[in-house]
Amino acid sequence: MKLIIEKTSKEMGCSAAKMIAREMEKKLALNLCLATGATPIGCLQELVRLHKEEGLDFSKTTSFNMDEYVGLGKTHPQSYYYYLNQHLYQQVNIDRNNTFSPEVLAEASVAAANDYTKLIYEKGGIDLILLGIGRDGHISFNMPKEALHPYTHVEQLSEATVSDNLRFFEKRKEVPTEAITIGLKVILDSRKVILIADGEGKSKIIREFLNDDRITTKLPASFLRLHDDVTIILDEKAAGQIKPEMRLPESKRR
Ligand code: GLP
């Protein structure tokens, strides 16, 4: 795992966007899987800037949402598809026919989840996945538990995550308690992984993640240690509690 510590959150986002752009330039028909939430906003803004000012081409890019709330369709303002549409798709030249998210309005969620796994692999798998991390160490919506799922599945969201998401909804009862998410194997099958985190609020989980080299289902992000091409990009606040002796051999501070 490679660790990059940028000074600010904005620089963290730009650094991730540059890595994504580099991969898009190497392979025009890149299969991307992008996180949602607060952390990736700067990265998405920089991708839009690179498109508008430097001609970054999305015309052959495919984009998969990594997760989606059960019951929130693509046009719901809090759905993750809506988020990517708003922050990226409608501002670049991506073909909407190449943008996918799990079918969360279907009665048979399990079948819909299986179909999504099949779709991802039929399209050639994920070339690059951009992950955020939850305060409890979840990635995508794979929550800390006794056992984790490899493939796309329905996940019950933890109390802490429901509380974290409350900021996006008016009332607690509107916050979805279930999501469809890709699983750990789908994440680890992605050819390149970037994980971003910023702010003091993430420093504790980043410390738990990086100060210990074990793998545990209690901290789903720890499974990234099994992957050969992972870059973690933090701002200084998120990196604040990493012990100097625990910094990874390849880490860089800017
Ligand atoms: C949600 C999303 C994750 C995201 C996480 C952190 O749980 N499913 O993909 O990484 O939140 O979000 P934020 O960046 O807002 O802290």
Digit-coded pLDDT (tens) for 45-69: 999 999 999 999 999 999 999 999 9
Q: Looking at the chain, which runs of residues are DSSP E strands?
A: 2-6, 31-34, 62-65, 67-69, 99-100, 128-131, 153-156, 178-181, 192-197, 230-235, 252-253
How would residue 193 be classed by pLDDT, with cut points 50, 70 and 90? very high
Q: Which atom of ligand 1 is nearest to the CA of 132?
A: 10
User: Distance, CA 6 to ligand 1 centroid (Å)?
Assistant: 20
Task: Give the C-alpha separation, 225 to 188, whole Å.
Answer: 10
Burial group, residue 74, by CB count within 10 angstroms (0-12, 13-18, 19+): middle
Task: Give the C-alpha separation, 95 to 84, whole Å.
Answer: 13
Mean pLDDT of the chain: 94
**How much is the pLDDT for 176?**
93
**The pLDDT of residue 243 is above 90:** no
User: Distance, CA 20 to ligand 1 centroid (Å)?
Assistant: 19
**The pLDDT of residue 253 is above 80:** no
Range with the lowest mean pLDDT among 28-32, 113-117, 249-253? 249-253
In 3D, which of 14, 108, 27 has the Cα closest to residue 62?
Answer: 27
- Report DSSP state, residue 157: P
Mutate to test the pocket of ligand 1, among 9, 12, 32, 39 (most ligand atoms within 8 A of CB): 39
User: Distance, CA 37 to ligand 1 centroid (Å)?
Assistant: 5
Please state the pTM of the whole predicted model: 0.95
**The pLDDT of residue 247 is above 90:** no
Strand 153-156 versus strand 178-181 pairing type: antiparallel
Q: Residues with beta carbon inside 6 Å of ligand 1?
A: 35-39, 67, 132-134, 140-141, 161
User: Distance, CA 36 to ligand 1 centroid (Å)?
Assistant: 6
How would residue 246 be classed by pLDDT, with cut points 50, 70 and 90? low
